[in-house]
Structure 1
């Protein structure tokens, strides 16, 4: 028997709200991405004031980083994960609104931007690397939570009754495929059963627009054949709803308050919330880095904090990749996925910095 704590059915809309008058949708991901930089900017104001630097320089630093991270992350995704496609279709590289950002590419862009900033504003490269490291993980926490709101970068199946059933794709399939529908929701439990671990019973509740009535006889083919076939043939759906050819998919038609409803019993596939793992890890790393900087900034050698940041960040990324789906199918044919291979040299870079700049030295406040 399942309990409310066993798994979560996750199906929020990627759109947060629509701007009145112009009909422009504001998406969770874009808002959280921007919020990450805004919060990080406020933290950097505080850091600059504490270290007797000009807070106005933070505005220029933010501009450098926003441009570099977005461009670097986009180019990184295009060149690391699917270079043949994007080199053959270069115009597609500019379609950033369609998704596709790689944190490794963003990191490379950040290093270049900070080098240029340090040269122009009279600080050492190591000094600015140490300070930006503190807020970088904070931005990462916001971005990964945005991925969670988008139901993207999903984790692997947990193989148990615990985890997240990402149901947004199922909801979109019904709403876009049947204009008679008013809403789609989900409930735990139902008649669908399985002897296999990692499958949980859920119910898809279809609410039809007022005035729509379904005839049980004429609807039988739709619910017993069309819907099971649609769930099975779409990869984006079969990752989250389990179905095998010939498998029974019970359903029920009923009315409530004069509105027609249909309830379909299916099996959901709980998955690891890899996005939340990374978001929480980033918050934890921010607290550690901020604590070390606040209490030891006048003694730490320049470069050590950056090395510590790199070591933690790419260790976390390497480990969490074991719980996430590969971004491209070809990654299944290599021992480690692309994210892990790219994390190794960055981790070693961090270790090198920690070893080289290990220890304390007296400095003026």
Structure 2
């Protein structure tokens, strides 16, 4: 049995409090930027374009994740208090919306910059998986995205919530799953030179949201309503991403096969 008595605030500067969640989120983007710099230099692309892309991606991630959380998981509250949507510092980001936000941001970036969508997407997928892992560690420090109660020896008691019983450390389950995906994608990017463009995009969607589907039953329902179905909201939202991921993998492999045959 483990005890989580972690202070969500890393440090304070006067009235300003810096949370571990924000640090992990920011650290993920910094590491992602470094990884993308290496990829860009390897392909001899302009790193100045990467600076612009980072701004688009950051904005798309935050806006998409925030809107998805507010409008999908707690629609009654936020529709009644729309100004609360802007209070992002109070927490509440949804990975499904963040994923869509990244896609939209990338498409907007590509309108003014000449890169191939899937080639750029494959590069982005590697750091995205890492960022997802670090965000879930931030959730653990915040004592949020809670797991269901458990009697397992690896259960965690979230003392700061005033609880005395253990829960599944669902945040760490997801963090481990996404970090594993990061390692897989990084290995494929570095060591498989003839992979088809789009393969990593498809794998990221398929693997991360399959992991999400598998871990959701161990988590407390995040939505403030019930689907009254076999799958909860998080699982239902994951299904389209898995389907799209598989479709992208099939498309990438078939297109690559045709190119090799000279069709």
**Pairs within 5 Å for 1:40-79:** 40-79=32-71
Measure how far apart 1:158 and its partner are. 1.8
**Pairs within 5 Å for 1:20-169:** 22-169=14-161
Contact 1:118–1:128 under 8 Å retained in 2: no
* CA offsets 1:42-78 (integer angstroms, 9 cap, x no match): 0000011111111221111110011110010000011
Q: How many residues align?
A: 257
**Pairs within 5 Å for 1:216-365:** 240-241=163-164, 269-297=165-193, 299-331=194-226, 333-358=228-253, 360=256
Counterpart Cα distance in 1 of 2:63 and 2:200: 25
Counterpart Cα distance in 2 of 1:160 and 1:43: 37
Measure how far apart 1:35 and its partner are. 0.6
Measure how far apart 1:127 and its partner are. 1.4
Measure how far apart 1:84 and its partner are. 2.8
Structure 2 residue aligned with 1:265: none
Contact 2:201–2:245 under 8 Å retained in 1: yes
Measure how far apart 1:82 and its partner are. 2.0
Looking at CA atoms only, which structure, 1 or 2, has the larger radius of gyration? 1
2:11 to 9, 13, 17: 17
Measure how far apart 1:159 and its partner are. 2.8
Q: Greater helix percent: which structure? A: 2
Measure how far apart 1:95 and its partner are. 1.1
Measure how far apart 1:335 and its partner are. 1.9
Q: Secondary structure at the match of 2:246?
A: helix
Q: Secondary structure at the match of 2:253?
A: coil
Q: Secondary structure at the match of 2:243?
A: helix
Counterpart Cα distance in 2 of 1:97 and 1:333: 31
The 3 A distance-change label for structure 1 pair 85 and 117 is same
The 3 A distance-change label for structure 1 pair 160 and 295 is closer
Measure how far apart 1:331 and its partner are. 2.6
Counterpart Cα distance in 2 of 1:27 and 1:304: 36
CA RMSD of aligned residues (A): 1.5
Q: Secondary structure at the match of 1:358?
A: helix
Contact 1:118–1:125 under 8 Å retained in 2: yes
TM-score by length of 2: 0.93
Measure how far apart 1:340 and its partner are. 0.3
Contact 1:158–1:270 under 8 Å retained in 2: yes
Structure 1 segments unaligned to the other structure (5+ residues): 1-6, 171-239, 242-268
Measure how far apart 1:88 and its partner are. 2.3
TM-score by length of 1: 0.68
Counterpart Cα distance in 1 of 2:89 and 2:200: 34
Counterpart Cα distance in 2 of 1:160 and 1:133: 34
Counterpart Cα distance in 2 of 1:25 and 1:329: 28
Structure 2 residue aligned with 1:189: none
Counterpart Cα distance in 2 of 1:160 and 1:85: 35
Measure how far apart 1:332 and its partner are. 6.8
Regions of 4+ moved over 6 Å? none
Q: Secondary structure at the match of 1:300?
A: coil
Structure 2 segments unaligned to the other structure (5+ residues): none
